[in-house]
Structure 1
Amino acid sequence: MAQPYRVAVLLSENLLASSVTLPIEILNTAAGSARANRRDAPPIEIQSVSLSGEPVATSSGFSLSPTASIDADIGPCDLIHIPGFWRNPRPIIRRHSEFLPWLIKHHEQGAIISAVGTGCCYLAEAGLLDGKPATTHWHYFDQFQRDYPKVELTRQYFITRADNLYCAASINALAELMVNIVFRWYGRAVANIVQRNFFHEIRNSFEPTKYYSGEASQHPDEQIVQAQIWMQDNFHKTIHIAALAEQFEMSLRTFNRRFKNALDQSPLNYLQQLRLNAVKDLLQHSNLSIAEIANRSGYQDVSFLTQLFKRHFNVPPGRYRDTVRAKLFRATNE
């Protein structure tokens, strides 16, 4: 049996119930459709997590019962989802500050983290969005920018992506983001089924509208886009470019040529860029050793990573971490 995709939904008081239930319904529909057509398709296991494990009151007046508390060992997750809440997010985040190290831990473990509306404030409060693009509900744009000046607030976009961190400005944008995740996990046929069940129109592209990713290059070659998405999801694994070309039904020569035409760089260079960006992020935001970071970023040899990092950034990984953290410390205390 295929290993399941493991999803955890964060529950905190005064949340918008639809921002919890909609992604769960979309993901369950996707898993059911995939397994109806292919018995070896991975199932999805969904847990809901609160601070104490006690039921949480929603803004609609009813309660949701979690399956676990943050103290429970739920294991590594493929996706963490943070719902939005009604009205001012500040007091809720203050009362749920224990969520912040929990989110940082799962980010370090490689989980995709999605947040919608004011739920994006959890990611900002944890420091995970520092220096990265983000969005939130339009009503809180000004407050968000004042509270988190290190975050690159992109008001004109409904969805942003920074590595494995996704922010959706609204419930409609969240639905589009979930379909994009379904496409990445199960492919076009299942994503089309989900669209037919949850949307009024069927679109050929599964990239959300008004979508911003600082690392994404826009081009019309859909097969190369799919190859990019696969590499973004699997860069921490051993990847052979020849096998990747075969997976997308191209010869190695054709794959290299089309990739170069689309992105002006080779597949290998693009893969190294993904891995080195992941290394930089972990150096800045985690206390993992260089060896652990190398392993989580697709490098088996620490000395090779050190040489490569120094060649690209003119500084070894350890010194980069010291320098970046010193700057963050000074900025915090000024």
Structure 2
Amino acid sequence: MKHISILVLQDAVLSSIDATRQLFTRVNDFSVMQGKSPVCEIHLVGVSKDTAINDGAYTIHCDQLIQDVEQTDLIIIPMICGNFANIIAANKAFAPWVIKQYKHNAEIGCLCSGSFFLASTGLLNGKACATHWAAANEFRKMFPAVKVVDDKIITYEQGIYTSGGSFSYLNLLLYLIEKNAGREMSVLVSKMFEIEIERKSQASFSIFIGQKDHEDEPIKEAQEFIENNYCEKITIDQLTSMLALSRRNFERRFKKATLNTVVEYIQRVRVEAVKKGLESSRKTIIDLMYDVGYSDVKAFRTTFKKVTGLSPVEYRNKYCDN
């Protein structure tokens, strides 16, 4: 029987703890109903018996303390919410235990922004990691040694699983259920809890917000120029001339500050404008494409799908109620 440790971190998101406990508890129930043995032993594990979360709105009672768990098979790190640096500091007592368990072959399932805590242990260094798309830039700045994957719902590498934004952690839990209890059980749980199984990407949910949390003022000026003039033809030479910078220096600084090349940034701004048009207007896809400065239909469709994971038609069908 698998021993599952759900960590009760300070400033954890309650729903991610409860959903994990609920789904694996139901796995045991369904297994028993099928005449089989329970699949797992589930524990809420903390550094103290009672942990207050959500500014004291809830208190979670832990049935095990980390010092009492000598060995576990699967560690679940819940979502966290708030100032990530402060939350990491508040939960630092968990880190040595997590590292020790991983070195003794425990696997780790990390839900959404829980990746900030896991990354602080060093276990994600050099590995791929998914997190919430809205926190990806902050994550990159805090943990440059980790390979952030923007579009994936789930990543897996060397016994560590991570998931994308918010409730996409449910897809990771289904994946872990399949791994530990089989495909049939995973499908049953997805049906009983009405969770869409096997979503692969969070790209269609993301909103591009140009990274401006930096101190390079000329690059901010370039970003604002792009965002105000994206429907016109914009060249790198035009931007370098405007800012009196060499091309090489400008491109290097732009990439460092925004985490995008200039061409990628222009593409993301234009695609974001088209997305809003698809969500709220009756304009044709071709008209929207022309509005943002594209003239090549094939190139536009390729770029749009690369950024969103969907074709323009699929995106409109998903988000427009017209």
The match for 1:90 is: 85
Which is greater in Rg?
2
Structure 1 residue 65: Cα displacement: 1.0
- The C-alpha deviation readout for 1:145-179, integer Å capped at 9, x for no partner, is 01111000111212211121111123432111111
Structure 1 vs Structure 2: percent identity of aligned residues? 24
Equivalent residue, structure 2, for 1:166:
161
Task: Please list, as runs of the form range in 1=range in 2, the aligned pairs for 1:147-226 lying within 5 A after superposition.
Answer: 147-199=142-194, 201=196, 207-210=198-201
- In structure 2, the residue corresponding to 1:29 is in which secondary structure? helix
Aligned pair 1:5/2:2, yes or no? yes
Q: Count matched residues.
A: 202
SS in 2 for 1:136: coil
Q: 1:93-121, CA deviations, whole angstroms, 9 ceiling, x for partnerless residues?
A: 11221211111011111111011122111
Q: 1: distance between equivalents of 2:7 and 2:57?
A: 18
Alignment partner of 1:33 out of 13, 30, 33:
30
Given the alignment, which residue of 16, 41, 63 partners 1:67?
Answer: 63
Among residues 32, 43, 48, which one is paired with 1:47 in the alignment? 43
Q: Distance in 2 between matches of 1:60 and 1:18?
A: 15
Q: Give the letter aligned to residue 27 of structure 2.
A: A
SS in 1 for 2:87: helix
SS in 2 for 1:98: helix
Q: How many Å separate the matches in 2 of 1:59 and 1:208?
A: 33
Structure 2 Cα separation of the partners of residues 32 and 147 of structure 1: 41
Asked whether 1:116 is paired with 2:111, we answer yes
TM-score, normalised to structure 1, is 0.57
1:220-269: CA deviation from partner (whole Å, max 9, x where unpaired): xxxxxxxxxxxxxxxxxxxxxxxxxxxxxxxxxxxxxxxxxxxxxxxxxx
State yes or no: 1:101 paired with 2:96. yes
Q: Is the 8 A contact 1:7 1:79 kept in 2?
A: yes
CA distance in 1, matches of 2:195, 2:154: 20
- Structure 2: runs of 5 or more not aligned: 203-322
Query: Normalising by the residue count of structure 2, what TM-score does the alignment of the two structures yield?
Result: 0.59
Q: Which runs of 5+ in 1 are unaligned?
A: 212-334
Cα RMSD, aligned residues only: 1.9
SS in structure 2 of the partner of residue 113 of structure 1: strand
Aligned partners of 2:26, 2:169: CA distance in 1, in Å?
A: 16
Shift, 1:16, TM fit: 0.7
